């Protein structure tokens, strides 16, 4: 049966026909990885299979000793009795949906995905299947995200205003994926761009895969911090750098956070931010519904996020939907805000 092709175990999502795990949360012999975020790519497994462009990210995450095998999108691979292929998920560089076929049944494990355009990775390609395993990080109707160029214009306007006021623009975004997406989308002519070390290390991986990013400078001890405000500089850093000694050294500045949780007004207030940009590398509500419909799946298994609302909605459409308990959490910056968002909240801004 399709529902038995991939099942949840204490180590992760397991395919018995191929004797492998998908994004396991405990060490296993063979792990197939959808993408490089830490809740999907964990250390300790004997071997890993991922997309070619995810290799550099996994090297950073898992270490030089990790045994990595890579394949390109659409390349068929037989693993024991199962046929496997990877397909674009549109989440971050190298992110993949994993298609598994066995005895005429097809199951697709999506990992994380989004439908908005992203200049740093291929767009999602929905895959027809019998069973679709989907995330639901933003599985509530209030979550509707603008297209990439709209958010980029908002960031440019904020940065330009700060530059004219002699302020440093501190932009907090998850260091893997979202930071690079922002860098590739904004107007680099506004001023110089500096980065936190965590962001710069991943920039190198993206550039190594041929992704265009504007020139950036790592904020090292050689950088003259006192000159950045006059230069109208933008500094991109991970969310955990906010209110740290590192961020305070920039002096006169304006700070902003790019996250899907900025869709809820209270999330920005809790972080004491000057500005919040509603941007996520996860699918919004329309993106979830459209992607699920495009797969034609008869059965949908819903993992991390707001699973009950999505399961209920799909069930009302006549789809066999069920929630799965997994160890996936979404990106760390969004996870922190998710714990503070009430599913009953009416504090959402109007689109």
Whether residue 310 contacts residue 152, with contact meaning beta carbons closer than 8 Å, is answered with no
Which residue from 130, 93, 127 is spatially nearest to 110, judged by alpha carbons?
127
Question: Who's near 108: CB < 8 A, 6+ residues apart?
Answer: 87, 97, 98, 99, 100, 127, 129, 131, 132, 133, 295, 297
d(CA 231, CA 237): 18
Q: What is the pLDDT of residue 269?
A: 73
Return the sign of the alpha-carbon dihedral for residues 336, 337, 340, 341.
Answer: negative
d(CA 322, CA 231): 53
Whether residue 141 contacts residue 310, with contact meaning beta carbons closer than 8 Å, is answered with no
Instruction: Show pLDDT as tens, one digit a residue, over the chain (351 residues).
Output: 445 799 999 999 999 999 999 999 999 999 999 999 999 999 999 999 999 999 999 999 999 999 999 999 999 999 999 999 999 999 999 999 999 999 999 999 999 999 999 999 999 999 999 999 999 999 999 999 999 999 999 999 999 999 999 999 999 999 999 999 999 999 999 999 999 999 999 999 999 999 999 999 999 878 888 889 889 999 999 999 998 888 888 889 999 999 999 998 777 777 788 999 999 999 999 999 999 999 999 999 999 999 999 999 999 999 999 999 998 887 554 444 334 333 333 333 322
Q: What radius of gyration do the chain's Cα atoms show? A: 20
d(CA 199, CA 194): 10
Task: For the chain, list the domains and their CATH numbers.
Answer: 2-143+281-330 (3.60.15.10), 148-277 (3.40.50)
Q: What is the pLDDT of residue 331?
A: 53
Instruction: Give the predicted TM-score (pTM) of the model.
Output: 0.92
Greatest distance between any 2 Cα atoms in the chain: 65
Q: Tokens for 230?
A: 């006059």
Whether residue 325 contacts residue 244, with contact meaning beta carbons closer than 8 Å, is answered with no
Q: Tokens for 328?
A: 């996936």
Output b/e per residue, 328-340; b: 16+ Cβ within 10 A: bbbbbbbebbbee
């Amino acid at each position: 049966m399709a529902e038995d092709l991939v099942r949840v175990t204490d180590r992760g999502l397991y395919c018995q026909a191929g004797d492998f795990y998908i994004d396991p949360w405990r060490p296993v012999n063979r792990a197939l990885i959808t993408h490089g975020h830490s809740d999907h790519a964990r250390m300790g497994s004997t071997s890993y299979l991922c997309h070619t462009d995810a290799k550099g990210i996994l090297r950073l995450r898992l270490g030089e000793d990790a045994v990595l095998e890579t394949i390109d999108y659409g390349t068929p691979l037989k693993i024991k009795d199962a046929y496997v292929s990877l397909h674009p998920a549109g989440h971050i560089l190298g992110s993949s949906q994993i298609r598994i076929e066995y005895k005429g049944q097809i199951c697709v494990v999506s990992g994380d995905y989004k439908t908005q355009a992203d200049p740093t990775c291929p767009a999602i390609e929905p895959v027809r299947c019998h069973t679709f395993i989907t995330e639901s990080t933003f599985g509530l109707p209030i979550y509707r995200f603008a297209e990439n160029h709209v958010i980029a214009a908002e960031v440019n306007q904020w940065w330009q205003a700060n530059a004219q006021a002699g302020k440093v623009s501190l932009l907090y975004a998850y260091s893997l994926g979202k930071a690079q997406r922002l860098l590739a989308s904004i107007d680099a002519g506004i001023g110089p761009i500096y980065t936190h070390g965590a962001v710069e290390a991943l920039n190198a991986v993206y550039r190594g895969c041929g992704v265009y990013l504007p020139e950036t400078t790592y904020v090292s001890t050689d950088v003259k911090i006192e000159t950045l405000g006059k230069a109208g500089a933008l500094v991109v850093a991970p969310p955990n750098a906010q209110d740290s000694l590192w961020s305070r050294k920039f002096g006169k500045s304006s700070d902003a956070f790019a996250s899907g949780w900025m869709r809820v007004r209270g999330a920005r207030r809790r972080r004491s931010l000057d500005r919040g940009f509603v941007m996520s590398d996860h699918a919004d509500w329309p993106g979830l519904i459209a992607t699920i419909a495009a797969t034609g799946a008869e059965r949908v298994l819903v993992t991390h996020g707001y699973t009950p609302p999505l399961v209920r909605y799909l069930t009302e459409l006549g789809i066999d939907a069920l929630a799965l308990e997994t160890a996936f959490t979404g990106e760390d910056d969004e996870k922190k805000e998710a714990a503070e968002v009430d599913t009953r909240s009416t504090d959402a801004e109007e689109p």
